[in-house]
Structure 1
């Protein structure tokens, strides 16, 4: 390297290009060279530091992009169903709505409730591994992304939310389309793919809610419908919006986590062997995967007022982009952060956010990965990569597009 720093605006342009989205990590380091808080042209702030990201996630003056915020940022956004529905869910809400929605849905994913789900997760993990073994018999190449990494978390959340098994796999394309709406948008027409996915999901889940209202089951959704009908502080639209959020968030991010854990294990056979032999190792392995190569790379906030943030002036209504994946590799927080090291002490990544917006499904996602990864490696001891793993052309929700393997 020449030692000459690229300008932050140039780095941003390369990060948003297709090549940058395939491997953003060197670009995060280039941005970090300008400091933990970088303001571009005085109108957009980027955060690369761990402590700074952690503080931003807890800063009440940095708002999620709810409807009021979007009105200031993206003209014409209300014409797009993707963002109309996104701004009605808890992830893109601010208090008091966020706190109200979080209270309503949060109890279903408490530590106690997640522990009670373990037997179901184990049952579905065996099904997922058997499926891979069947597809790979005779040396056939299996793409783990659709056949394992998506299939397993969809089975888990589908069962919990009352989505019939026969319908679950049909949502993969729509869910991927919806996450594309989270990408930086230069032209609202770029939201059309996300709109189509959201429309399909909204139509299906509206029908499913009506069916579960008539014939309730033991699933979480039936319980939420009952609470709504008995006067809970939530609207029908909010129920549907958060149903969509939970279905998308509990499949796409866990899909990417699972793909990354498998790839990292197969790239480092010593780790794979230890995962087979020592069940206790899997917790630290999953934690390090969440730090080293997180599914959620970027979170966005908007300043509600002028503020001084770690010495940088952030003006009211300006966007603040939290480069979470860069924060997870901050050398001020982690020794040798560019090295994948499951033995790393005090390994607290920012991948599941922090503060009031900490991911509701974090415990379920981690428990699911910790159950299924060792099972996959023990059941298929000859599992190996069968070609190049490729990534989707996304930077916010980054994950594998294809992960080809053979099982024998």
Structure 2
């Protein structure tokens, strides 16, 4: 398969189900190459890692959207993402990120371990003999955790799941009008909810992230607060759901590795890093150059060039990971690019890691007969990779 055919396959349902043969063909062609209306695609771990940290690259922001989609703000699902940290560049990104990081602290995340453990045990106890792991566990856990962090009452959490799921289509390069309409409705409903929650926390602050963000010291505008609360909900749930589903499928289809983690839960951090590397919940991210960018081998991109970094290809680069298609938690120094890097490194990465590190060993130890109960189904997504259903039996 030549690199152009391989790249085109990623935009087909079959290619999205298993993009890794295409990534191999693309990477073998060149670390970076130009295709599809002049966009550049970057494939290797070394180059992706460097470019993610390069301050001369920027994300598409509101000004870009104004140029190619003048009425994008009318879709509130799109607006909530574009106006959040995901769609902001310095100096606004620096200011908002600093405020968010000051509230979304390592201490606050570490303090969630007991909350996560309690929710995991409750969900495991409630699992029936046969279940779809995605709907019974992989969706409710991250929604419950991020809602607890934000201070959303437990009774409201089931309502959030569908809205968050509908909104994530905004992150995909291909979507239908029906999906975009659902994203708009979800964005409006989530904004309405968080407007109410912000007002409530201003009147009566609590020990939660929303109260910290609306505090006088954050310096965020009302629109910034709103967009980033929606982002924290959506990003905090979607990638972790995919990480949990993918991780459990990898373990249950490899009984020897599952047995190792069951007998030694302290191995969980290494297992989670290898899951992230082996089948990343986020497969690509895009940037624009602001100055000439040297990609090596005599390739220099002009300012304004579009650069798509194939995170899934970088994570299986044989130059960085020998025998990259083998699942091996014993690899030394696993450094997946699954959560990005640099100024836009995922703020919620520590929380996603912690949820998986707690959940996967407990699933295996509390349910020693846990097994797959039929073939899983993949979501038809290019950017956000995961399962729509994962049938299990608890034995």
Question: Shorter-chain TM-score category?
Answer: over 0.9
Helix, strand or coil for the counterpart of 2:265?
coil
Equivalent in the alignment of 1:204: 193
Equivalent in the alignment of 1:392: 379
Residue by residue, what CA displacement relative to the aligned partner does 1:91-139 show, whole Å, maximum 9, x if unpaired? 221111111111111123333332222222222221121122xx22xxx
Q: Distance in 2 between matches of 1:189 and 1:406?
A: 34
Q: Distance in 1 between matches of 2:333 and 2:25?
A: 26
* Structure 2: runs of 5 or more not aligned: none
From 286, 304, 307, the equivalent of 2:293 is: 307
Helix, strand or coil for the counterpart of 1:327?
helix
Equivalent in the alignment of 1:6: 2
Structure 1, 234-243 or 77-86: larger mean CA deviation: 77-86
From 35, 56, 59, the equivalent of 1:64 is: 59
Q: Distance in 2 between matches of 1:178 and 1:155?
A: 18
Judged with a 3 Å threshold, the aligned counterparts in structure 2 of structure 1 residues 365 and 242 are, in CA distance, closer, same or farther, namely same
Q: Distance in 1 between matches of 2:72 and 2:105?
A: 34
- Kindly state the Cα deviation for residue 33 of structure 1 after the two structures are TM-superposed: 2.0
- Kindly state the Cα deviation for residue 42 of structure 1 after the two structures are TM-superposed: 7.0
Helix, strand or coil for the counterpart of 2:171?
coil
Q: Distance in 1 between matches of 2:316 and 2:362?
A: 29
Equivalent in the alignment of 1:280: 266
Judged with a 3 Å threshold, the aligned counterparts in structure 2 of structure 1 residues 355 and 261 are, in CA distance, closer, same or farther, namely same
2:284 is the alignment partner of 1:298: yes
From 342, 361, 365, the equivalent of 1:378 is: 365
Retained in 1: the 8 A contact 2:104–2:209?
no
Q: Distance in 2 between matches of 1:11 and 1:70?
A: 29
Q: Distance in 2 between matches of 1:204 and 1:114?
A: 24
Q: Distance in 1 between matches of 2:76 and 2:116?
A: 33
Judged with a 3 Å threshold, the aligned counterparts in structure 2 of structure 1 residues 327 and 210 are, in CA distance, closer, same or farther, namely same
- Kindly state the Cα deviation for residue 208 of structure 1 after the two structures are TM-superposed: 2.1
Taking the TM superposition and a 5 Å limit, the aligned residue runs for 1:145-294 are 145-185=134-174, 191-225=180-214, 227=215, 230=216, 232-294=218-280
Q: Distance in 1 between matches of 2:45 and 2:9?
A: 22
The count of corresponding residues between Structure 1 and Structure 2 is 394
2:121 is the alignment partner of 1:106: no
2:306 is the alignment partner of 1:319: yes
Q: Distance in 2 between matches of 1:198 and 1:42?
A: 31
Q: Distance in 1 between matches of 2:115 and 2:381?
A: 32
- Kindly state the Cα deviation for residue 75 of structure 1 after the two structures are TM-superposed: 5.2
Structure 1, 309-318 or 256-265: larger mean CA deviation: 309-318
Q: Distance in 2 between matches of 1:77 and 1:15?
A: 26
Structure 1, 292-301 or 202-211: larger mean CA deviation: 202-211
Taking the TM superposition and a 5 Å limit, the aligned residue runs for 1:76-115 are 76-115=71-110
Equivalent in the alignment of 1:44: 39
Structure 1, 77-86 or 50-59: larger mean CA deviation: 77-86
Q: TM-score, normalised by structure 2?
A: 0.94
Retained in 2: the 8 A contact 1:82–1:198?
yes
Helix, strand or coil for the counterpart of 1:345?
coil
Q: Distance in 2 between matches of 1:256 and 1:189?
A: 23
- Kindly state the Cα deviation for residue 190 of structure 1 after the two structures are TM-superposed: 6.0
Equivalent in the alignment of 1:35: 30
- Kindly state the Cα deviation for residue 394 of structure 1 after the two structures are TM-superposed: 0.6
Residue by residue, what CA displacement relative to the aligned partner does 1:31-88 show, whole Å, maximum 9, x if unpaired? 1121111111671000111011111111222211111232345454333222222121
Retained in 2: the 8 A contact 1:180–1:193?
no
How large is the Cα RMSD of the aligned pairs? 1.9
Helix, strand or coil for the counterpart of 2:139?
helix
Q: TM-score, normalised by structure 1?
A: 0.91
Judged with a 3 Å threshold, the aligned counterparts in structure 2 of structure 1 residues 236 and 75 are, in CA distance, closer, same or farther, namely closer
Equivalent in the alignment of 1:357: 344
From 48, 55, 58, the equivalent of 1:53 is: 48
Helix, strand or coil for the counterpart of 1:178?
helix
- Kindly state the Cα deviation for residue 203 of structure 1 after the two structures are TM-superposed: 1.8
Q: Distance in 2 between matches of 1:75 and 1:302?
A: 19
Helix, strand or coil for the counterpart of 1:401?
strand
- Kindly state the Cα deviation for residue 314 of structure 1 after the two structures are TM-superposed: 2.5
